[in-house]
Every structure is written in C-alpha cells, then in structure tokens.
Amino acid sequence: MRHFITLDDVTTAQIETIFALTTDLKQKLKQGVREPLLPGRVLALLFEKPSLRTRVSFESCMAHLGGSSLMLGADTGFGSPRESLADFARVLTQMVDVVVIRSKRHDTVTEFAKNADCSVINGLTDISHPCQALADLYTVREHFAKQGGGNLKGRKIAWIGDANNVARSLAHGCARLGVEFVIAGPKGYQMAPDLLDKFRTQSPDAKLTVLEDPVEAVDGASAIYTDIWASMGQEHEADVRKKAFAGYQVNEALFAQAPDDAIFLHCLPAHRGEEVTDGVIDHERSLVVEQAANRLHVQKGILVWLLGSHA
C-alpha cells in the first residue's frame, strides 16, 4: 500500500509515471472522455483548514474517475478528544479507499497514515504540500514544452519570499527533477540548511541556493514564484512579516529583471498589492490559473498511480 505524504514517497521515475498519467487524462478530458479508472472507489477528505483548490479538485477527480468522495466535517470527531487519532484512522480506513488530509500539523498526517489501512495523501501540512509542488512542476514543463523549449531539466525556478510549506516541497521536487531552485528572502525566514542538505544527499546533482537579493534570484529564471507572506496559522505575525518582506514584492520592476519568456506562478490565494502586484499576476505570462487548474489533472495522476493499475 502506497501513501503520498511527501516527495520522499515517490522516486523520480514514479513522478514521471504520474506526469505521464496526468498528460493522458488531461488530453482525454479535453476530448470529452472521463475514463472511469477508479469505479466504486471512495475518497474521504479530512480538512482542518479552509480550502478551495484542494477540496474541489479532489472531489472532481474522483467524479471524473468513476469514484465518489466524502467531505468529512467536524461532526465525525477528526482531531477532537472524542477518540484517539489511531482509532479514528483504523476505523475510517476500513470504509474508504483513500484519504486526503489537510492538517495544521504534519505529525497528524504521518500518525494517521501509520494506522491507516488505505492510502493517505497529504493535502497540505505546516511543512509540506507535495500535490501543489507536482502541479507546479508539471505546469512549468507543460508551458515550455508547448513553446518548443523541451523539458524541465536544466531550468531555474526562483522563489521570492517565505520558505514555507509550498517552497519546501517545490525545492524537493526541483532537486528530484534536475531543476535549479533559488529562494530569496530576508534573514530569519530562509530555508533551513539541513533541509537543503537532505535534498542534496538524495539528489547529488541538485542546485539549491538561498539568497537575500531577489534581483539576483530571478536572473536567468524560467519561472518566478511567490506566495503570501503570512500563511494560515501565521495571521498574528502579519504586521511583522509585512515589514520583513517589504523588499520582496514581485512587481513589474522585479519581473522585468527575469528573461523575456519567464512565467509567473502563485499557488493562490494571493494578497494583491502585497507579495505581488496586479500588473504581474494579471500579466500575459502569468500562469496562475493554468497552475491551479493543473491541480485537478496532476491529482488524477496521483490517484490512479496510488489506486489504479499502476499501483
């Protein structure tokens, strides 16, 4: 039985398998074909945080694949003192085929998976967002392939801002797929050196760099990526973070320092006028909508890889 909790759960070859499934299923959907590869399968969604893209994309995934989904609210007792997480996991996973968890704490997902009798997918935790990272990398590859620019390997992605859960998973994915990853942020909010060392150990050819200068970061980058400065659960730090990240806004002046074919990415929701200006997020080379839409297609690939004939 497979889980998808971090990118440690997939090899580079398996990521390529997921991407191949994604392309096949996306092309078929465009042709009006919704292939029922997971008939009768049931997906349960356990969310401790609000969600638009993760919830709707997973529910649509299962409908397109011939299965069904259950959005389980607080009345089921998830995360409450009503019963232990282990007991909750042991019972629920006898009744469904796969569980997606969006949790405040990464340990909740790993503890749940340890006691689960079906596959578990990380829908976001405080330290990891692997579904988002695969959708991001797929979006970059898809865009440049359409432009005749080949695959991902050798490209550079510049992350401007906080070293949050999305940034960490994206750095991990870049290391796996031969993409250079540069992150620029103020001291105190940068990516931990031991985490980057772990990725370098797994992928010795990985190019992972931490900078303070955002202009240096976007030089030669194929994609410029940012996210909100205070993530869910950090709202009480918002004022302090606004001051710390004030020099890291992705605006027209910074975007102009990147190559003429560079694209802009944001995992959304965006705080327009803070981490990104309207002129960049609405730019003709902004792919934020395509990036969000690819959550649907890539997560279909993940579900079929976990539960279908590739399992």
pLDDT tens digit string along 24-72? Answer: 999 999 999 999 999 999 999 999 988 999 999 999 999 999 999 999 9
Which has the higher per-residue pLDDT, 141 or 80? 141
What was the pLDDT predicted at 256? 98
Same domain? For 102 and 163 the reply is no
User: What average pLDDT does this structure show over 216-231?
Assistant: 96
Binding residues for L-ornithine: 165, 227, 231-232
Q: 């990240």: which residue's tokens?
A: 245
Helix (H/G/I), strand (E/B), else coil: 8: helix
193 and 120 in one domain?
no
Average of pLDDT values for 228-243?
86
| Amino acid (1-letter code) at residue 66 | G
Dihedral sign of CA atoms 256, 257, 259, 262 in order: negative
In the chain, which ranges are continuous DSSP H helix? 12-30, 53-64, 85-92, 106-114, 130-146, 165-177, 193-202, 214-218, 238-244, 252-255, 278-281, 288-307
Please tell me which residue, 149 or 277, carries the higher pLDDT value: 277
What is the rounded average pLDDT of the residues 117-123?
97
The torsion angle over the Cα atoms of residues 140, 215, 189 and 133, rounded to 10 degrees, is 0
Query: What DSSP string runs through 56-78?
Result: HHHHHHHHHTT-EEEEE-GGG-T
What contacts 289, CB < 8 A, 6 or more positions away?
Answer: none
12-30 and 288-307 helices, crossing angle to 10°: 110
Note whether 195 and 138 are same-domain residues.
Answer: yes
Please report the pLDDT score of residue 151 as a whole number: 82
The yes-or-no verdict on residue 78 having pLDDT over 90 is no
Average pLDDT over residues 138-153: 90
Number of domains in the chain: 2
Q: What is the pLDDT of residue 207?
A: 97
Average pLDDT of the residues in 214-235: 92
Answer yes or no: is pLDDT of 131 > 70. yes
Annotated binding site for carbamoyl phosphate: 102, 129-132, 267-268, 295
145 and 270 inside one domain:
yes
Q: pLDDT class for 311, splitting at 50, 70, 90?
A: low
User: Which residue range is the domain that position 24 belongs to?
Assistant: 3-129+295-307
Residue indicated by tokens 């330290």? 127
Q: Based on the domain organization, do 207 and 245 belong to the same domain?
A: yes
Do 170 and 227 belong together in one domain? yes
What digits encode the pLDDT tens for the residues 269-283? 999 999 999 999 999
Q: Are residues 258 and 125 in the same domain?
A: no
306 or 82: which leads in pLDDT: 306
Indicate the annotated binding residues. 102, 129-132, 165, 227, 231-232, 267-268, 295
Of all residues in the chain, what percent carry a pLDDT higher than 70?
99
Q: Region 172-184: what's the mean pLDDT?
A: 97
From 269, 181, 170, select the one nearest 228 (Cα to Cα): 269
Instruction: Please tell me whether residues 147 and 236 are part of one structural domain.
Output: yes
pLDDT score at 82: 87
- Do 265 and 168 share a domain, yes or no? yes
Q: Are 197 and 233 found together in one domain?
A: yes
- Active-site positions read 102, 129, 132, 227, 267, 295
What average pLDDT score do residues 114-139 get?
A: 97
Q: Which of 167, 158, 171, 161 is nearest to 200 (CA)?
A: 171
- Looking at the fold, whether 65 and 179 belong to one and the same domain comes out as no
Mean pLDDT over all residues of the chain?
95
pLDDT for the residue numbered 310: 61
Percent residues over pLDDT 90 in the chain: 89
In angstroms, rounded to a whole number, what is the distance separating the alpha carbons of residues 167 and 129? Answer: 9
pTM: 0.96
Which tokens sit at 186? 């103020």
pLDDT tens by residue, 10-28: 999 999 999 999 999 999 9
Rounded mean pLDDT, 216-230: 97
Question: Are 63 and 34 contained in the same domain?
Answer: yes
User: Taking the C-alpha atoms of 106, 109, 114 and 115 in order, what is their torsion angle to the nearest 10 degrees?
Assistant: 140
User: How far apart (Å, rounded) are the C-alpha atoms in residues 144 and 193?
Assistant: 30
What confidence score (pLDDT) does residue 231 get? 79
**What's 255's domain CATH number?**
3.40.50.1370
Whole-angstrom Cα distance, residue 244 to residue 221?
24
Evaluate the omega torsion of the peptide bond into residue 269 and state whether it is cis, within 30 degrees of 0: yes
Rounded CA gap, 129 and 131, in Å? 6
pLDDT of residue 289 exceeding 80: yes
Mean predicted confidence (pLDDT) in 93-97: 98
pLDDT bucket at 79, cuts 50 / 70 / 90: confident
Residue 308 binned pLDDT confidence (cut-offs 50, 70, 90): confident
Query: Whose structure tokens read 């989904």?
Result: 69
